A and B are shown apart, each in its own frame.
Chain A
């Protein structure tokens, strides 16, 4: 670690670049808030809060303090924040719904088309997403990829971006309030959560047991640090799983809420997709299926 460390941080160690990753995060936060203010029907403040919490976690994960921690524990903490906790906050903020509300019609149509695209359904299937997130993590930690990312800043950032994207996809496929046509039912989603969580726990224990040799390819290692990193990964993964499960079942609970049948038409079924998403039902955008 001590040998690989300074090399890895040569790229973003000099003056300015350490702050650079914070710009896209700030852009995300400001963009969302501006859109929320523009929403003609009033946007739920809880969603805005959720988005800002997600952005704050992202900022902690990529900001200057995180880059000081040149330590496997730092890597695990970044992985937990980027790949598990921040995505949940972002997903629960329903950014796509917000976009559909405030964007001009051509953009809405494009988003609607994208949401109905077959490849997206395949990619956003809970099982695919689980493989991408837990499988991707295993790929990084069980192959020389980790050691390589310590040396090459570009790869380092690419790994982090993958954590974030895969984590977002997974949280969205399980519990996202955003419209998700053809999303599988509760049983499949619960199964994917179980598989991903079990895989994460097994991976953490495996890394703990083999701290002398994993991740491979490091020139200098401190097994004790890797052991405590694995422990952090295990318990942090638990917390993330708990939150994800709560979000998943809360979505289900919400969807089964008994509704007053007569007054508002419960679902404008024959209308086109976009109209449905932009319907004045407000909170019922959390509907699944």
Chain B
């Protein structure tokens, strides 16, 4: 996940700070999707019986990966903080990028291209799809902007 040969300098570790944000962003968005939409709202069920077994397998993998990424991401985050190698601006940018990227991927590839499942059944889907995909795109764009801003003001700004 992270190479131990990183220099233990007091300056921010650009790559790790960004990546840890992306990782946590993806994990949080996957967890929100899973917990809010699958389990609380039950827009899809505990197990959707019409889903083929491949989707079942991918669902189990997604869930396991989301939990592992969340826990691992926060320990990685804590390690970067402890070594004063964290840039919180880069991490926030990465977070938005990861969350938006996951949402957009889920909305476009999973829902529309592969048609694994839809957001809701028995309703007019278009407003849901538009809202889902647009919110993903907005998050992704916000992430790009924050990262660009954080990188542009990094020289001389020191670790924050």
Contact = CB atoms under 8 A, between A and B. Distances in A.
A50 to B, nearest CB: 19
Contact of A194 (B1, B49, B64, B76): B64
Given A198-B60, A242-B71, A245-B71, A190 B1 contact: yes
A249 B72 contact: yes
Nearest to A253: B75
B46 A194 contact: no
Interface string B120-140: 000000000000000000000
B72 A258 contact: no
B64 A209 contact: no
A242 B67 CA distance: 7
Interface in B1-19: 1, 4, 8
Interface in B55-93: 56-57, 59-61, 63-65, 67-68, 71-72, 75-76, 78-79, 82-83
B79 A206 contact: no
A234 B61 CA distance: 13
Interface on chain A toward B: helix, strand, loop, or mixed SS? helix
A248 B76 CA distance: 12
A197 B49 contact: no
Interface string A18-42: 0000000000000000000000000
Nearest to A196: B64
A152 interface: no
Interface in A216-255: 231, 234, 238, 241-242, 245-246, 248-250, 252-253
Given A201-B64, A205-B56, A205-B60, A186 B1 contact: yes
A253 B78 contact: yes
Contacts of A252: 75
Given A197-B68, A253-B75, A253-B78, A205 B8 contact: no
Contact of B67 (A187, A197, A231, A256): A197
Contacts of B1: 186-187, 190
Interface string B138-150: 0000000000000
B83 A208 contact: no
Contacts of B49: 209
A250 B79 CA distance: 10
A256 B61 CA distance: 28
Nearest to A239: B67
Interface residues of A, number: 31
A256 B79 contact: yes
Contacts of A201: 59-60, 63-64
A238 B72 contact: no
Contact of B61 (A198, A245, A249): A198
Contact of A245 (B56, B63, B67, B82): B67
A246 B71 CA distance: 6
A84 B1 CA distance: 25
Nearest to B47: A205
A193 interface: yes
A208 B46 contact: yes
Nearest to A255: B4
Nearest to B76: A249
B47 A209 contact: yes
A22 B62 CA distance: 39
Nearest to B61: A198
A231 B45 CA distance: 12
B72 A190 contact: yes
A193 B71 CA distance: 12
Minimum-distance CB pairs A-B, first 4: A197-B64, A202-B60, A249-B75, A201-B60
Interface of A: 186-187, 190, 193-195, 197-202, 205-206, 208-209, 231, 234, 238, 241-242, 245-246, 248-250, 252-253, 256-258
Given A197-B60, A256-B79, 5 more contacts: A193-B64, A194-B65, A198-B65, A242-B67, A245-B67
